[in-house]
């Protein structure tokens, strides 16, 4: 009887490693197959042609080592018609020039200067997830943020001035998807904060955004980008406050072998996200609409 028991114990001890080895082999094979499947499922091709869409941001980060120059120009209001060429030669233009660089895969860093209050911004964009061709990942997810420094004279910040009053912050989560060969859409949620704002104006703003691209030809697309500040009383510092107006933008994008150009109409004369969501007071009329122009190197 004891011999039988010993035999069963020894057999059991030998069976465990053999079973484990077999399972491990099957697990390794399954893991390798999954990796091969994921490896074959590449990111979708060119959901957006540029990292910018008008004054807003798209979900893409270009390849490692990419250096790009960015120019966004908003002209004056179109309400004077031909007398100032629909605002092209009018006062009130706003311009941002910037540079961006991708030091490592999926991470972009940048710097820019905007004419409004000679504001300098430092920014980061990071791709968390990329949409893939076989829908292993159905959407792209990107994080964007900037820190801006208002260059106004210190008298503009009141008697208790400190350098921190110049600072504002903008953070954004962007989720996008390309449908077929011709349509790309994205939605975003954002949070803006200003260290210093005039009395009666909130320091914090939450907003949502929506963008779309419809490809017409291999080089021409219709593009739209819209920003909607939200009226949220729970984060307001005042019992009565005025929310900034929505920013509507619609235009055309033309790409060459090395550049992307966008010509569009906009209801905001601000470019940086935090200023658009917190300060825009333009309506969707001839006094609020202005022509915009964007150029960036592909």
CATH number of the domain that residue 284 is part of? 2.40.160.40
Which tokens sit at 247?
């920013």
Decide if pLDDT at 6 tops 60. Answer: no
- Residues 20 and 95 both lie in one domain: no
Question: Can you tell me the distance from the alpha carbon of 280 to that of 267, in angstroms, rounded to the nearest whole number?
Answer: 8
Which regions of the chain does DSSP assign to beta strands (E)? 52-53, 56-57, 67-77, 94-104, 107-114, 119-129, 140-149, 167-179, 183-194, 204-215, 220-229, 247-255, 259-266, 290-297
Does 215 share its domain with 127? yes
Indicate whether 51 and 99 sit together in one domain: yes
Q: Which pLDDT belongs to residue 125?
A: 98
* Confidence bin at 159 (pLDDT 50/70/90): confident
| Among the listed residues 231, 226, 230, the one whose alpha carbon sits nearest the alpha carbon of residue 267 | 226
Greatest CA separation for the chain: 111
- Whether the CB-CB separation of 174 and 188 falls below 8 Å is answered with yes
Same-domain pairing of 52 and 31: no
Q: Is residue 133 located within the same domain as residue 81?
A: yes
Range in 27-36, 76-85, 272-281 the model is least confident about? 27-36
The domain in which residue 18 lies consists of 1-40
Question: Do both 20 and 99 map to the same domain?
Answer: no
**Beta carbons within 8 Å of 119's beta carbon, 6+ residues apart:** 113, 148, 149, 150, 151, 272, 275
Average of per-residue pLDDT values in the chain: 88
pLDDT of residue 182: 96
**Whole-angstrom Cα Rg for the chain:** 26
Residues 213-226 have a mean pLDDT of 96
Stronger pLDDT, 235 or 48, i.e. the higher one: 48
With a cut of 60, say whether residue 261 has pLDDT above it.
yes
Number of domains in the chain: 2
Q: Do 39 and 33 touch, CB atoms closer than 8 A?
A: no
Give 55's pLDDT tier (boundaries 50, 70, 90): confident
51 Cβ contact list (under 8 Å, min separation 6): 57, 58, 60, 61, 62, 68, 100, 108, 125, 296
User: In this model, does residue 88 exceed pLDDT 50?
Assistant: yes
Do 81 and 34 sit in the same domain of this protein? no
Do 264 and 120 share a structural domain? Answer: yes
CA 181 to chain centroid: 21
Closest listed residue to residue 225, CA positions, set 1, 57, 111:
57
Shared domain check, 225 and 122 = yes
Average pLDDT rounded to a whole number, residues 107-134: 97
CA torsion through residues 234, 238, 239, 245, sign: negative
Are 20 and 58 members of one domain? no
Angstrom distance (rounded) from CA 56 to CA 283:
19
Give me 129's structure tokens.
């997830």
What's the whole-number mean pLDDT along residues 100-112?
97
- pLDDT for 8: 39
pTM: 0.83
Residue 66 in tokens:
């990419």
d(CA 200, CA 207): 19
Considering the chain, what percentage of its residues have pLDDT values greater than 90?
74
Average pLDDT over residues 86-108: 95
Q: Are residue 95 and residue 10 in the same domain, yes or no?
A: no
- The reply to whether 5 and 143 lie within a common domain is no
């Amino acid at each position: 009887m004891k011999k039988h028991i010993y035999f069963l114990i020894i057999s059991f001890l030998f069976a465990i490693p053999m079973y484990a080895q077999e399972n491990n082999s099957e697990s390794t094979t399954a893991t390798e197959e999954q990796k091969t499947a994921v490896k074959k499922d590449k990111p979708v091709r060119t959901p957006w042609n540029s990292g910018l869409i008008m004054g807003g941001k798209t979900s893409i980060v270009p390849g490692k080592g990419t250096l790009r120059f960015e120019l966004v120009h908003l002209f004056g209001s179109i309400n004077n018609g031909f007398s100032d060429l629909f605002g092209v030669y009018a006062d009130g233009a706003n311009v941002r020039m910037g540079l961006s660089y991708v030091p490592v895969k999926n991470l972009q860093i940048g710097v820019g200067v905007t004419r409004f209050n000679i504001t300098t911004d430092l920014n980061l964009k990071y791709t968390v997830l990329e949409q893939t061709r076989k829908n292993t990942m159905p959407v792209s997810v990107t994080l964007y943020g900037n820190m801006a420094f208002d260059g106004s004279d210190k008298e503009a910040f009141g008697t208790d001035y400190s350098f921190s009053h110049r600072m504002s912050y903008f953070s954004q989560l962007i989720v996008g998807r390309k449908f077929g060969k011709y349509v790309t859409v994205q939605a975003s949620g954002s949070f803006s904060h200003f260290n210093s704002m005039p009395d009666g104006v909130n320091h914090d703003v939450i907003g949502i955004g929506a963008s779309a691209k419809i490809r017409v030809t291999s080089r021409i697309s219709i593009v739209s980008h819209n920003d909607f500040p939200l009226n949220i009383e729970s984060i307001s510092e005042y019992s009565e406050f005025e929310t900034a107006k929505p920013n509507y933008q619609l235009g055309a994008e033309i790409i060459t072998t090395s550049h992307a150009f966008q010509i569009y109409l906009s209801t905001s004369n601000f470019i940086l996200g935090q200023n658009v969501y917190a300060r825009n007071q333009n309506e969707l009329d001839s006094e609020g609409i202005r022509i915009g122009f964007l150029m960036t190197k592909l």
